[in-house]
Amino acid sequence: MSFYWGETDAHPGGTVPQRMVIPISPHLVAMRGTEHRPSRCAALEGEVGRQVGCSIYPLRSSTCREFEAGTPACNAARAHYGLAEIEAETETETA
């Protein structure tokens, strides 16, 4: 997924490390590693199916902040790696 280049640390107030992105258009960038298939984001650490995490979690882009566990997009990504679906958290579970 691409996001506005102003989210990179090359722009005042941006947080995503510029060294970890590639240009997609004059105004959009994407995380390195997501530009080809199979994709693996440059910020992803660990082994899929065992334990993974984002090395820049507090600095991540809006597209990553909007991605929620248990959604159809999440479960499609899990299925791609042969992982079982998970349910989305509800407000009562997180409160």
- Reported as a single tens digit per residue, the pLDDT across 20-56 is 999 999 999 999 999 988 889 999 999 988 999 999 9
User: Residue 65: which of 91, 43, 46 has the closest Cα?
Assistant: 43
Beta bridge partner(s), residue 54: 44
Write down the pLDDT at residue 2.
94
pTM of the predicted structure, to 2 decimals:
0.81
Q: What is the DSSP letter of 36?
A: S
Q: Is the pLDDT of residue 78 over 80?
A: yes
Residues whose CB is less than 8 angstroms from the CB of residue 23 and which lie 6 or more positions away in sequence, other chains included: 5, 29
Is residue 73 within 8 Å of 67, Cβ to Cβ? yes
Q: What percent of the chain has pLDDT over 90?
A: 73
User: Residue 21: which of 45, 46, 41 has the closest Cα?
Assistant: 41
